[in-house]
Amino acid sequence: LAKRMKKSLEKKVNKSTLNEENIKDTLQEIRLALLEADVNNEVVKELISRIKDKALGGYIEEGANANQQLIKIVHDELQSILGQDKKGLDLNKKPSVIMMVGLQGSGKTTTANKLAYLLKKKEGKKPLLVGLDIYRPGAIDQLKELGEQTGIEVFEKGKQDPVKTAKQAIDYANENGYDTIILDTAGRLQIDEQLMDELNELRKTTSPSEILLVVDGMIGQEIIEVTNAFNKLLKLTGVVVTKLDGDARGGATLSIAYMTNLPIKFIGEGEKVNALAPFYPKRMADRILGMGDIETLFERAMESIDERSIEKTMKRMFMGQYDLEDLRNQLAQTARIGNLSGIMKMMPGLNGQISEKQIAEAQRKLVIFSILMDSMTIKERREPKLLKSLKRKDRIIKGSGRSEKELNELLNNFDKGRKQVLDMTKKFKKGGMNAFGKGKLP
């Protein structure tokens, strides 16, 4: 996924202008790459539509850095689906019970041991593993072997009823100073009622602080159905996605995060005992995109001054299409270029002589105007007449923390400027003279 996405992004969006037409191929590539990585179709649709909105909505400045900006958009959208921060475990109770559940072969037993090891090593916990899979031949022996490797005690009562064993394990933990109890429960190939009943009994008896669903990151679309089924019955507190080793596709995490709204708490990245890592949304977004260095790229994209954007606004003005989005782009450019007086001479309604003091005052205004415009939707900026609505105005005022007076000032200035622009272009078209006064176009 990573390589393919990166390649397609780099190839398709080079120096040209972003528009519906030439972004189409890129979006199609991203779409295919995501689908191939087993990301759920709904998630893919949502992602593509968000990326498209941002790419076409004026968030991207044209120019040589468009690809970097598009990568940044894709990254942001991936991350906004994956979540902002890592989500830890709630282990405040003494002892805390962590219940591992999931289908057979998903990695419950392996993960239970990895987790015990991690908690012991990183958080100084004293964990107790409890073998409750009485159905799968050799399951308890497997847990005991793993526990031996990590030096973690395993509590088990052979084929005794799991609910009873779990109760005894809690007593045992209390008596022997274990602070964390990890229940390794049985799985099935498919979800069945009998198993669910047993898990539910276990849940009621042990009141777990955490009920973690362990899912195999490679099982594909089924992953959502499985997660929802377990969650419905057990009220999961989180998900562990296993088998995301090496360059495995991370698409499953996207599907789970978007379709189930459950926090992913860990990912399994191999069979070894230390191959369990907290889930960092940002890292996963990086991984899906396949670049560790996205910030640097982004910084460079933002630092670069993009002259073509100014050109574009000029062209639009010329065609009588000047709106708030254009004004906003101009202001963004102004801020980046840092040379206000030069720009101000190009701004509609401001051509003429300006003193330093006026420039400073204008600078302040522009900041306020930018804040106000940031609180508008792209649609409102493209169709400023929508802003006649008091409800919209109210929302913008509240959202920006500015005053009604300032908003009206912005809108009045914009109206005046726009009229002037239209006037000038009309004159220019008629008389063939330079609408911007003397000399060549700025």
CA 336 – CA 304 distance, rounded (Å): 8
Kindly tell me which residue out of 109, 255, 313, 329 binds ligand GDP, with binding defined by CB under 6 A.
109
- Name residue 128's beta-bridge partners: 181
Only one of the segments 239-247, 289-297, 371-379, 432-440 lies at the binding site for ligand GDP (rule: CB under 6 A); that segment is: 239-247
C-beta separation of 172 from 155 below 8 A: yes
C-beta separation of 260 from 231 below 8 A: yes
**Would you give the binding string for Mg ion spanning residues 89-108, x where CB under 5 A is met?**
-------------------x
Measured in whole angstroms, the distance separating CA 362 from the mean position of its chain's CA atoms is 36
Q: Is 242 helix (H, G, I), strand (E, B) or coil?
A: strand
Kindly tell me which residue out of 104, 304, 351, 420 binds ligand GDP, with binding defined by CB under 6 A.
104
CA 203 – CA 214 distance, rounded (Å): 16
Minimum gap (Å) between residue 242 Cβ and ligand GDP: 4
Minimum gap (Å) between residue 105 Cβ and ligand GDP: 5
CA 183 – CA 187 distance, rounded (Å): 12
Minimum gap (Å) between residue 152 Cβ and ligand GDP: 15
Q: 306: phi > 0 → left, psi -120 to 50 → alpha, else beta; which?
A: beta
Nearer to ligand GDP, 110 or 370 (CB): 110
Residue type present at position 284: M
Nearer to ligand GDP, 243 or 393 (CB): 243
Minimum gap (Å) between residue 126 Cβ and ligand GDP: 22
Only one of the segments 84-92, 102-110, 197-205, 406-414 lies at the binding site for ligand GDP (rule: CB under 6 A); that segment is: 102-110
113 binds Mg ion (CB under 5 A): no
Please identify the residue of the shown chain whose CB is closest to the bound Mg ion. Answer: 109
At 53, list the tokens. 């909105």
Cis bond upstream, residue 95 (ω within 30): yes
109 binds Mg ion (CB under 5 A): yes
159: annotated binding-site residue? no
104: annotated binding-site residue? yes
- β-pairing, 210-216 vs 238-242, is parallel
Kindly tell me which residue out of 26, 68, 79, 110 binds ligand GDP, with binding defined by CB under 6 A.
110
Kindly tell me which residue out of 83, 95, 107, 251 binds ligand GDP, with binding defined by CB under 6 A.
107
**Cβ-count burial of 335 within 10 angstroms (0-12 exposed, 13-18 middle, 19+ buried)?**
middle
Element housing 282 (H / E): helix 281-289
Minimum gap (Å) between residue 105 Cβ and Mg ion: 8
The contacts found for 428-436 with CB under 8 angstroms, 24 or more apart, are: 428/318, 436/346, 436/351
Minimum gap (Å) between residue 216 Cβ and ligand GDP: 8
Only one of the segments 91-99, 238-246, 294-302, 345-353 lies at the binding site for ligand GDP (rule: CB under 6 A); that segment is: 238-246
**Would you give the binding string for ligand GDP spanning residues 241-260, x where CB under 6 A is met?**
-xx-x---------------
348 binds ligand GDP (CB under 6 A): no
Nearer to ligand GDP, 106 or 330 (CB): 106
244: annotated binding-site residue? yes
Cα four-point dihedral sign 343, 345, 346, 347? positive
**Would you give the binding string for ligand GDP spanning residues 195-234, x where CB under 6 A is met?**
-------------------x--------------------
Element housing 194 (H / E): helix 193-206
439: annotated binding-site residue? no
Which partner from the list Mg ion, ligand GDP, none does 325 bind, CB cut-off 5 to 8 Å by kind? none
Which residues of 62-159 form beta strands (DSSP E)?
96-101, 127-131, 154-155
Residue type present at position 268: G
CA 43 – CA 182 distance, rounded (Å): 33
Nearer to ligand GDP, 245 or 406 (CB): 245
278 binds ligand GDP (CB under 6 A): no
Please identify the residue of the shown chain whose CB is closest to the bound ligand GDP. Answer: 268
DSSP letter, residue 17: P
Sequence-separated (6 or more) residues with CB below 8 Å from residue 396: 372, 375, 376, 380, 387, 407
CA 6 – CA 67 distance, rounded (Å): 10
Only one of the segments 16-24, 204-212, 227-235, 268-276 lies at the binding site for ligand GDP (rule: CB under 6 A); that segment is: 268-276
CA 436 – CA 415 distance, rounded (Å): 18
229: annotated binding-site residue? no
Q: Which residues are annotated as a binding site?
A: 102-109, 184-188, 242-245
Q: Which residues are annotated as a binding site for GTP?
A: 102-109, 184-188, 242-245
Binding site residues, ligand GDP, CB under 6 A: 102, 104-110, 187, 214, 242-243, 245, 268-271, 275
